[in-house]
Amino acid sequence: MLNFRNVALRRGARVLFSGASFTLHRGQKIGLTGANGVGKSSLFALLRDELHPDEGDFSMPPNLEIAHVAQETPGVSSSAIDYVIDGDKELRRLEKRLAEAEQVNDGIKLAELHGALDHIGGYTAQVRASRLMNGLGFLPGQLNNPVSSFSGGWRMRLNLAQALMCRSDLLLLDEPTNHLDLDAVIWLQDWLCKYPGTLVLISHDRDFLDSITDHIIHIESNKAEIYTGNYSDFERMRAEKLSQQQSAFEKQQREIAHIQSFVDRFRAQATKAKQAQSRIKSLERMELIAQAHVDSPFHFTFAKPDKMPNPLINLKQADIGYGDKIIIDNVDLTLSPGDRIGLLGPNGAGKSSLIKVLAGQMQPVAGQLLISDMLKIGYFAQHQLEQLRVDQSPLWHLQALDKRATEKELRNYLGGFDFQGDKVMEAVEPFSGGEKARLVLALLVYQNPNLLLLDEPTNHLDLEMRHALSVALQDYQGAMVIVSHDRHLLRSVTDSLLLVANGSVQAFDGDLDDYRQWLTDQKKGEEDPSTANNAVNVSRKDQRKQDAERRHKLKPLVDAIKRAEQTVEKLHQQQFTIEQQLADPVIYQETEKNRLKQLLEQKAQVDRDLSRAEEAWLTAESKLEEAQEACTSG
C-alpha cells in the first residue's frame, strides 16, 4: 500500500505537482501519463526513495521489494542468462550464504538454506529466466552469450528481463516497449496482466495501457490525479472536461471531420471483412480520443504530393538478404498511390530489410527493383536520428531543405511539432530521443513525399505526438509501408497487412487479433511440430465439437477465476474503506480508542483474507493454464 497525502514535488523552483492524495493498493496496475517534463520520472524517483516530498507525506510498507529497469547495462563478460537471474536478489543472497556454509561445512545451515532455496523456486531459476528471455525475443543459442556481445537495444531487453525476474512487490516500468518489436510487446502485455504485485507503468502505447491498467495517474497543470479504469476510460473522463471549452470544441470538430473522411474512404475500399471490422471498431473510438487531445501542442498535416506516378515501386521475384544469406526470397510487391500497408512478422524475419530495399538503402540479392522517375521517398528509421547535425538547430535543418522559405514560415511550421520560441535555435545535441524523433518527422513531412516508409516511427514519441501523427497519416494521400509495435497506430492508418515470416512475404488475411493468435499457434508448432499437421486433418464439425468440449471442461476453472477476482475486488474495497477511516486524525483521539482497536482488527482480518484470496486467484489461473495446455496437447 503506497499512501500519498498532499504530496508536492519540485524541480528547483518549479512545482511539478502538488496536493497529490491517493492510495495505491497491492495488485493494482497503474498507468502514469502526462506530457514530457511534468514529473513522471520524479514520481518514480520518489517511489524508489531517491527523492522525498517537498510537501505532504508519502509512506509505503517497510522491506518492500521494488524492481525497475536499469537504464545502463555494463558490458560484462558474464552470460546473458546469469545477468537476468541476478534480478532475483533473494536467490543470489541465498546462493552466497550457501557458499559460505559449504566453506565451513555447516550441515544444519546447509539443509536450512537448501529448504529456503526450494521454497522460493530457486531450482527453477534457469527455466524462469530462459522463458523470460524467449518471450522478449532472445534465441536459445543466445542465452549463454556474454552480455558485452549484445547491442544497446538488446541490452535494454536484458535489463527488462532482469527486472521481471525479480519476485517484486512493486514493479516500476518506464517505456518498456521502446526497444521491443510487436511480438515481444504482445508477450510482455500478457506477462504483466498476470503479474501479482503492484505495477506502475509509464507508456505511450495506448493499446498496451488499455490492456494492462486498471487505474491511471495523470499529471497535468501541476496536479497528479488518479482515475479508475484503463487509458480509454481516462480519455473519456478527460474529454468531458475539455469539451466544455468552446475553442477546444471547434478544434475537436475539425479533427473529427478528418477522421470521418478517413472512415468514408476506408469503407469505400474495404475488401477484407475481418480487417474492416477491426478498423471500424478502432475508428468508432476516435471521436472520444480526438476530444481528449484537443489541447495537443502538435498540429501538422501532409500536403498532397506534387506527382503520383502509378506504380511507385515494383519489386519482382526479389531475394533479400546479406551476401550469401537470404532472409526473404521471391518477393513480388507493387506499391501504388493510396496503398497503406502494415508489415507484421517475428523479430529477425526481414521486415526492416524489406523496407531498406524499398528505400534504396540496400539492393536485392536477386530479382528486380523498378522505381518511378517521379518517386519521392520519405524514410523514417531509428538510424535517421543519428544523421541529424547535433551541432545545429531545428531551424538550420529546415533551412538546409528550403533556402527560399522565410524564417517566420519555418518557425510557424516547426511550432506544429512543438518547437517553440528559442527551442528552434538550440543545438540538437542535448535534445531527448522524442525531440529528435519529432525533428526527423518534421523534416520528412516538409519534403512532401509520395511514398512513406516508416520503421518504428513512434519510438520515443509521447501519446500526444502519436495521436497527431495518426491523424496526419489518415489524411496522407501517397502510399505508405509501416512497421510498428504500436497497434493503435497500425489499426488507425493501414488498409492491409503483409506477413513477413518463414522466408516469404504474404498477404495476411486478418486483423491484429488474428496475428496474435498466429503467434500463439507458431509457438505451439515450434514446441510440437505434429500439432499443425494434425490440425489439418480435423474437420470443421469435429473442430467445433472439440472446442465445445474444451469449453465445457474449462468452465469450472474459468468460473473459479471469476469468483476469485470478485472476492479480491470486494476485499480491496473493504481494505480501502478501512484505510480511509484510519487516515482520519479524529480516530486517534482518546475517546475513539475502542473504535480504533476494532478498525485495526478488521484491517488485519481483511489483509489475511485478501492474501488468501489472491493466492486462490493465482492458483486458479495456474490450474486453468495447465488445463488449457492439456486440452491442446490432447
Q: pLDDT tens digit string along 120-140?
A: 877 888 888 999 999 998 988
State how far the Cα of 205 lies from the Cα of 463, in Å rounded to an integer.
Answer: 7
The reply to whether 566 and 519 lie within a common domain is no
How much is the pLDDT for 399? 94
Residues 609 and 494 in one domain: no
The closest of 217, 185, 187 to 200, measured between CA atoms, is: 217
| Half-sphere exposure (Cβ direction) of 547: Cα atoms closer than 13 Å | 8
Phi/psi for 34 (5° steps) reads 145, 160
**For the residues 537-560, what does the mean pLDDT come to?**
61
Cβ distance 583 to 5 under 8 Å? Answer: yes
Closest CA to 22 of 216, 202, 241: 216
Contact predicate 492/471, CB 8 Å? no
Gap between the Cα atoms of 85 and 165, Å rounded: 6
Q: Which of 219, 235, 251 is the last residue of a domain?
A: 235
Q: Is residue 535 part of a domain?
A: no
Backbone phi, psi, residue 81, to 5°: -70, -35
CB 129 within 8 A of CB 81: yes
Instruction: For residue 268, name the pLDDT band (cuts at 50, 70, 90).
Output: low
Cβ contacts of 526 within 8 Å, gap of 6 or more: none
Instruction: Write the pLDDT tens digit of every residue in 335-362.
Output: 999 899 999 998 888 999 999 999 998 9
Dihedral sign (CA 534, 535, 539, 543): positive
Distance CA 315, CA 329 (A): 11
Q: What is the CA radius of gyration of the chain?
A: 27
Q: How far is CA 476 from the centre of its chain?
A: 25
- The residue whose grid cell reads 496475428 is 515
- Integer angstrom CA distances of residue 221 from 120, 207, 244: 45, 25, 17
Residue 532 binned pLDDT confidence (cut-offs 50, 70, 90): very low
Quickly state the pLDDT bin for 581 (edges 50, 70, 90).
Answer: confident
Q: What share of the chain in percent tops pLDDT 70? A: 83
Task: Give domain status of residue 302, yes or no.
Answer: no
* Most confidently modeled range among 228-242, 299-313, 442-456: 442-456
Do 335 and 279 reside in the same domain of the chain? Answer: no
Q: Please indicate, yes or no, whether residues 197 and 328 belong to a single structural domain of this protein.
A: no
Co-location of 516 and 581 in the same domain: no
Contacts of 160 (CB under 8 A, 6+ apart): 69, 136, 173, 176, 188
Min mean pLDDT across 2-11, 81-90, 542-551 is at: 542-551
As a whole number of angstroms, the distance between CA 576 and CA 148 comes to 47
Domain match, 246 and 230 both: no
Average pLDDT over residues 185-208: 93
10 Å Cβ neighbour count for 114?
Answer: 15
Look at residue 448 and tell me if it is in a domain: yes
In a domain, 298, yes or no: no
Together in a domain, 190 and 259: no
pLDDT above 90 as % of the chain: 40
Burial class of residue 448 (count of CB atoms within 10 Å of its CB; 0-12, 13-18, 19+) = middle
Residue 520: pLDDT band with limits 50, 70, 90: confident
The angle at the Cα of 203, spanning 201 to 205, to the nearest 5 degrees, equals 135
Work out how many domains the chain is built from and give that number: 4
CA dist 475 and 62 (Å) reads 53
pLDDT (tens digit per residue) in 360-409: 989 999 999 999 999 999 999 877 777 789 899 999 999 999 999 999 99
Neighbours of 569 (CB within 10 A): 13
pLDDT score for 444: 93
Beta bridge partners of 15: 10
* 297: in domain: no
Q: What is the pLDDT of residue 56?
A: 93
Residue 41 lies in a domain: yes
Is the same domain home to 128 and 246?
A: no
Of the listed ranges 35-39, 324-328, 413-417, 618-622, the one predicted with least confidence: 618-622
Q: Cell numbers for 585, please give them.
A: 486524525
pLDDT bucket at 12, cuts 50 / 70 / 90: confident
3 state SS for 97-164: HHHHHHHHCCHHHHHHHHHHHHHCCHHHHHHHHHHHHHHCCCCHHHCCCEHHHCCHHHHHHHHHHHHH
**Rounded (10°) CA dihedral 203, 205, 210, 213:** -10
Split at pLDDT 50, 70, 90, the class of 170 is: very high
Residue pointed to by grid coordinates 486458479:
620
Beta strands per DSSP E along 542-632:
none
Q: How far is CA 611 from CA 294, 616, 618, in A?
A: 43, 9, 11
- Calculated CA dihedral for residues 273, 275, 280, 281, nearest 10 degrees: 110
Cα separation of 181 and 186, whole Å?
9
- Which of 168, 202, 235 marks a domain boundary? 235
Which of the residue ranges 163-167, 250-254, 617-621, 625-629 has the most confident prediction, judged by mean pLDDT?
163-167
Residue matched to cell numbers 515481444: 184
Q: What is the CATH number of the domain that holds 228?
A: 3.40.50.300
DSSP 373: T
Q: How sure is the predictor about 633, in pLDDT bands with cuts at 50, 70 and 90? A: very low
pLDDT of residue 540: 45
Single residue among 292, 324, 359 that ends a domain in this structure? 292
Of the listed ranges 228-242, 407-421, 546-560, the least confidently predicted one is 546-560
- How far from chain centre, in Å, is Cα 20? 26
Residues 94 and 77 in one domain: yes
304 in a domain, yes or no?
no
CA distance linking residue 98 with residue 111, whole number of Å = 9
Give the pLDDT mean for 286-303.
Answer: 66
Could you tell me if residue 549 is inside a domain? Answer: yes
- The arithmetic mean of pLDDT across residues 198-216, rounded, is 93
Q: What is the DSSP letter of 499?
A: E
Residue 539: predicted pLDDT: 46
Q: Do 85 and 112 sit in the same domain of this protein?
A: yes
Q: Distance between CA atoms of 330 and 350, rounded to whole angstroms? A: 13
472 and 579 belong to one structural domain: no
Mean pLDDT of 49-77: 87
- Which is nearest to 566 in space by CA: 625, 619, 613, 615? 613
**Continuous H helices in 416-539:** 433-446, 463-475, 487-493, 512-527, 530-536
Cβ distance 274 to 509 under 8 Å? yes
- Is-contact 470 494, C-beta < 8 A? no
What's the rounded Cα separation, in Å, for the pair 326 and 322? Answer: 7
- The reported pLDDT for the residue numbered 267 is 59
Residue 600 lies in domain: 540-633
| Residue 551 shares a structural domain with residue 496 | no
pTM, entire model: 0.68
Q: What's the DSSP call for residue 385?
A: G
Flag whether pLDDT at 303 surpasses 80: yes
pLDDT of 185 > 90? The answer is yes
pLDDT tens digits for range 413-463: 999 999 989 999 999 988 888 888 899 999 999 999 999 999 999 888 888
Residue 102 pLDDT > 80: yes
Q: Is 112 exposed, middle or buried (0-12, 13-18, 19+ CB in 10 A)?
A: middle
Amino acid at residue number 124 = T
623 or 34, which is more confident:
34
For residue 393, which of 436, 451, 357 has the smallest C-alpha distance? 436
Cite the DSSP H helix spans in 151-272: 152-165, 182-194, 206-212, 231-242, 246-269
Residues in Cβ contact with 76 at an 8 Å cutoff, skipping those fewer than 6 apart: 83, 146, 147, 148
